[in-house]
Amino acid sequence: MSETQQHVEEPGPSEVRSPLIQQELKRAGVWLALAVAIALVVVLAQPLMLIIGALVLATMMDGGTRLLGRVLPISRGWRLTIVLLSAVAFLAWTFYLTGSSLAAQAQAMRTIVEAQVMRVGGWAQQLGISATPDDLKDLAQQAMHSMGRVTAAVGTAVGAITSAVMMLVLGIFIATEPQLYERGVAWMLPMEKRSHFYQVAQKMGWTLRRLMFGRIIGMSVEGVGTWLLLWVGGVPMAGLLGILTGLLAFLPNIGAIVSGVLIVLVGFSGGTDTGLYAVGVYLAVQIIDGYLIVPMVAKRAVDLAPALVLAAQILFGALFGIIGLFLADPIVAMIKVYLEERSKALKARNDARLMRPADS
């Protein structure tokens, strides 16, 4: 071939020209990418949970910063600093006042709960139930051992502290300037998808702020109310039970059951009258929270069915450990918001498509 002759590229044996084969290859690529994404989610489950936890913390910080903005005309950075310092001061004050007494009460509560479990076992045996007190004690020990395996997913004590610090630092960075990260995620999307992303992100942020605000109010009402009412009634360890009830209130459904069992067991350790009073306190606090706090605050943002939340807690708890149990409710809320906004966008698109022939 002469040097002046121009070379023309021609199709080779590996050239795919069949539209059917090209379409099937695209489908296979989509399924392969989906499988890789699922594998990455499984492998990186713990880091993803930490990131989602940081987003939840950032939402709580952002909510406090926005509330301060209504009364303090200062920059966002200073308002965020006030929120963080207030949270640290409250925790330090709580541990300073109740730290030593709560440690002793926690040790005593373990003894009381074990004794009450033995009493329940003896009472059940008298009624003809085959379970013996030793069986119930073994069941309680197995439950505690299972909880230990769940919490082991977070790691050792050092690992748990490290994870908490990482979530806190990441949450502070996001809460400092959330629009920066929102624009960064939108930049990776096509231009026609960005407006919908901003709308969904704004609705998710509003929903999470409302949900977390209601959760904090509920935790405060349940914790303080339980402590005061139990203290007035002379129930042992009212302070520890109040703190545990407030902390467990972050977990819908499951937290109320666990705190209720503890309150009843400790209450009946002081006698029948004290136990019945503890049951009344528990019911009163749960009714106030369920019929007053939650409808006024949380359900205005997102109304989640209790069975859906409980199923999500079981699923995320089994997959991701204790951190998945805590984050199940916010994750379900965000998924619901996305599906609702997606449904609205598709409905608007279909309505616009149906209107075009009429206009023409």
Range of lowest pLDDT (26-30, 210-214, 298-302, 349-353): 298-302
34, part of any domain: no
Task: Report whether 91 contacts 164 (CB < 8 A).
Answer: no
3-state secondary structure of 10: coil
**Residue 30 lies inside a defined structural domain of this protein:** no
Residue 290 lies in a domain: yes
- Provide the 3-class DSSP secondary structure of residue 262: helix
Contacts with 249 (C-beta within 8 Å, 6 or more apart), sequence order? 215, 218, 219, 222, 223, 255, 256, 259, 289
Distance separating alpha carbons of residues 290 and 293, to the nearest angstrom? 6
pLDDT digits (tens, 9 = 90+) for 172-204: 999 998 889 999 888 988 888 888 899 999 999
In a domain, 5, yes or no: no
Q: State CA 32 to chain mean position distance.
A: 30
1 in any annotated domain? no
Q: Is residue 131 part of a domain?
A: yes
Pairwise CA distance, residues 348 & 360, whole Å: 19
Q: Give a yes or no: residue 339 inside a domain.
A: yes
Q: What is the pLDDT of residue 301?
A: 61
User: What percent of the chain is predicted at pLDDT more than 70?
Assistant: 74
* 29 part of a folded domain: no
Q: Does 144 have pLDDT greater than 80? A: no
- Show the tokens assigned to 103: 């440690």
pTM of the entire predicted model: 0.73
> What's the CA gap between 55 and 174, in Å, rounded?
7
Domain of 137 in residue numbering reads as 43-185+192-347
Domain total of the chain: 1
Distance CA 215, CA 7 (A): 72
